[in-house]
Amino acid sequence: MKTIDIFERLRNGETILPNDPDGYKMREASFATKKLVIQMNNATEPEEIRSFLSQITGTEIDESVTVFTPLHINYGKHTKIGKNVFINFDCVFLDLGGITIEDNVLIAPKVSLLTEGHPTAIEDRHSLIPKPIHIKKNAWIGANATILQGVTIGENAIVAAGSVVSKDVPDNTIVGGTPAKIIKEINSTN
């Protein structure tokens, strides 16, 4: 019987207990990623930044992607970035639960995408609960917004600056606030 790797277990949404015998692998991988993140954040050429980001994610980052560093990622291999994506300064991606960013997405400065959480019960709090974040085509995430684990941002949706998004955002809507609520629907004339 094949043993499932801890990173596959994370992608499958399995809660990782604090005494998990493979838990150390998450820390080791994060420190290895940190070395690449430091190099990426000190790079000045767009091609060099994309090259480091490709190494961090383990996928080829398209030349249409623009990243203004610094960008902070704790693992990287569970982040998938589409084409014509713009990521502005000082974003944080905690991606052990999986982050998918589709084509034509705009991510403003200081956006946090947090796929990891913890149980509320005190005795279980050091366990890690991973849930994916999915940002669909043409979405725009405003400055200093936080997208929490398990959330899907719909196609063409806008998340207002400073929002905390804890529930799925429907296609073609603008959400804002803490917690984020629907402000209005978007149509082709507004």
> Could you read off the pLDDT tens digit of each residue along the chain, which spans 190 residues?
456 899 999 999 999 999 999 999 999 999 999 999 999 999 999 999 999 999 999 999 999 999 999 999 999 999 999 999 999 999 999 999 999 999 999 999 999 999 999 999 999 999 999 999 999 999 999 999 999 999 999 999 999 999 999 999 999 999 999 999 999 999 866 5
Annotated active-site residue 78? The verdict is: no
Q: What is the pLDDT of residue 162?
A: 98
Query: What are the structural domains of the chain?
Result: 6-185 (2.160.10.10)
Backbone angles phi, psi at 49, to 5 degrees: -60, -45
Q: What is the pLDDT of residue 2?
A: 57
Distance of CA 69 to the CA centre of its chain: 15
Q: Which two tokens stand for residue 174?
A: 């603008």
Distance CA 33, CA 77 (A): 9
Beta bridge partners of 93: 73, 113
Residue tagged active-site, from 72, 78, 118, 134: 118
Q: Where are the alpha helices (DSSP H) in the chain?
A: 6-11, 23-42, 46-57
Q: What is the pLDDT of residue 3?
A: 63
Distance CA 166, CA 84 (A): 26
SS3 of 107-126: the string is: ECCCCEEECEECCCCHHHCC
Taking Cα atoms as reference points, which of 150, 155, 182 lies closest to residue 166? 150
